[in-house]
C-alpha cells in the first residue's frame, strides 16, 4: 500500500491528544455528559501512528477500539483528564485537544444516590479547568492545537479561542449540520492559525485526520 512507501511525516515526533466526552458525576449512579463519539480523536490518533508518531491518547468513555500502536489512558471526568494530561505534556512535541470536555461539573457530588422529593430540584454547577488552555500556557508547551465545535459564527468564535487560549492552531467544525461532526463518520474543518487559514471539505474522518496532521507536520517543522 502507498502508506508503506510514502514519507512518514511524523517520524521522530510524539503526539498527545484528548478525545471523547467527559462524564461529570452527580451521585454514585448518575452523571452529566455529551454526545461526543470520540471518532475524530481516535481517527487522528490512528492516522498519527501510521504517519510515524509516538501517540498517547487520553480519552473519556467511548465505544471504540484502541488504534494500533497507540498508548491509551482512560479517564472519566475533566479533572481526571487534566490530571492524566499534565504529566505527559513535556514528553510530547504536539498536543491536540479533541475531547468534548464538560464546561461545568457538579459543585458537590452526593455520596449517596439522591432520592426524589420535591417537584423541582436544582443542581449547582462550577466551571471545570480548561485542559487545552492549561497545556497552552505551560512553560514547555508542545505545538498546541484546539478544536472548536460551533453552531454559528464559526470563524469569529474559532479565532477568538485561538487568541484567548494562545493556541498555535484551531480546527473548527460547524455542529449545526448533523450530517458532519459529532456522531458522524464524516467531518469538515476550517483551520486557523496566527497568519493563515484553510478549509478541508467534508470527507471521511480518517482522510480528514491525515490532512490535518499533514498541515500540523508542516507547521511544526518550520
Q: Which one, 13 or 78, has the nearer CB to Ca ion?
A: 78
DSSP collapsed to 3 states, the chain: CHHHHCCCCCCCCEEEEEECECCEEEECCEEECCCCCCHHHHHHHHHHHHCCCEEEEEECCCCCCCCCCEEEEECCCHHHHHHHHHHHHHHCCEEEECCECCCEEECCCCCCCCCCCCCCCCCCEEECCCHHHHHHCCCCCCEEEEEEEECCCHHHHHHHHHHHCCCCEEEEEECCCCCCCCCCCEEEEEEEECCEEEEEEEEEHHHHHHHHHHHHHHHHHC
| Residue 9 interaction partner, one of ligand CTP, Ca ion, none, beta carbon < 5-8 Å per kind | none
User: Which residue in the set 31, 42, 143, 147 belongs to the binding site for ligand CTP (CB under 6 A)?
Assistant: 147
Q: Which one, 8 or 157, has the nearer CB to ligand CTP?
A: 157
Q: Which stretch binds ligand CTP (CB under 6 A): 69-77, 87-95, 96-104, 177-185?
A: 96-104
Q: Which stretch binds ligand CTP (CB under 6 A): 29-37, 87-95, 143-151, 198-206?
A: 143-151
Q: Which one, 12 or 87, has the nearer CB to ligand CTP?
A: 87
Q: Does 132 bind ligand CTP (CB under 6 A)?
A: yes
Instruction: Answer yes or no: is 180 a known binding residue.
Output: no
Q: Which one, 90 or 103, has the nearer CB to Ca ion?
A: 103
Q: How many CA atoms lie within 13 A of 78 on its CB side?
A: 23
Q: Does 128 bind ligand CTP (CB under 6 A)?
A: yes
Q: Which stretch binds Ca ion (CB under 5 A): 25-33, 101-109, 115-123, 128-136?
A: 101-109
**Is 24 within 8 Å of 102 (Cβ atoms)?**
yes
**Is 57 within 8 Å of 15 (Cβ atoms)?**
no
| Residue 147 interaction partner, one of ligand CTP, Ca ion, none, beta carbon < 5-8 Å per kind | ligand CTP
**Is 62 within 8 Å of 115 (Cβ atoms)?**
no
In angstroms, give the least distance from the CB of 144 to ligand CTP.
9
Instruction: Answer yes or no: is 103 a known binding residue.
Output: yes
Which residues of the chain form contacts with Ca ion (CB under 5 A)? 103
Point out the annotated binding site for CTP.
97-99, 103, 113, 129-132, 147, 161, 165
Which residues of the chain form contacts with ligand CTP (CB under 6 A)? 18, 78, 97, 99, 101, 103, 128, 130-132, 146-149, 161
Amino acid at each position: 500500500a502507498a502508506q508503506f512507501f510514502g514519507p512518514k511525516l511524523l517520524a521522530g515526533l510524539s503526539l498527545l491528544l484528548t478525545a471523547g466526552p467527559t462524564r461529570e458525576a452527580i451521585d454514585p449512579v448518575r452523571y452529566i455528559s455529551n454526545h461526543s463519539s470520540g471518532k475524530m480523536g481516535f481517527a487522528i490518533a490512528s492516522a498519527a501512528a501510521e504517519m510515524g508518531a509516538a501517540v498517547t491518547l487520553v480519552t473519556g468513555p467511548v465505544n471504540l477500539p484502541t488504534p494500533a500502536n497507540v498508548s491509551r489512558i482512560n479517564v472519566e471526568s475533566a479533572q481526571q483528564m487534566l490530571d492524566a494530561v499534565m504529566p505527559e505534556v513535556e514528553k510530547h512535541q504536539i498536543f491536540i485537544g479533541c475531547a468534548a470536555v464538560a464546561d461545568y461539573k457538579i459543585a458537590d457530588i452526593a455520596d449517596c444516590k439522591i432520592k426524589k422529593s420535591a417537584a423541582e430540584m436544582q443542581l449547582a454547577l462550577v466551571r471545570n479547568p480548561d485542559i487545552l488552555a492549561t497545556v497552552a500556557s505551560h512553560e514547555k508547551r508542545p505545538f498546541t492545537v484546539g478544536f472548536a465545535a460551533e453552531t454559528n459564527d464559526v470563524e469569529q468564535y474559532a479565532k477568538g479561542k485561538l487568541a484567548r487560549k494562545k493556541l498555535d492552531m484551531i480546527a473548527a467544525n460547524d455542529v449545526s449540520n448533523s450530517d458532519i461532526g459529532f456522531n458522524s463518520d464524516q467531518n469538515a474543518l476550517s483551520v486557523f492559525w496566527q497568519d493563515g487559514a484553510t478549509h478541508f471539505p467534508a470527507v471521511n474522518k480518517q482522510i480528514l485526520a491525515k490532512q490535518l496532521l499533514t498541515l500540523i507536520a508542516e507547521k511544526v517543522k518550520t
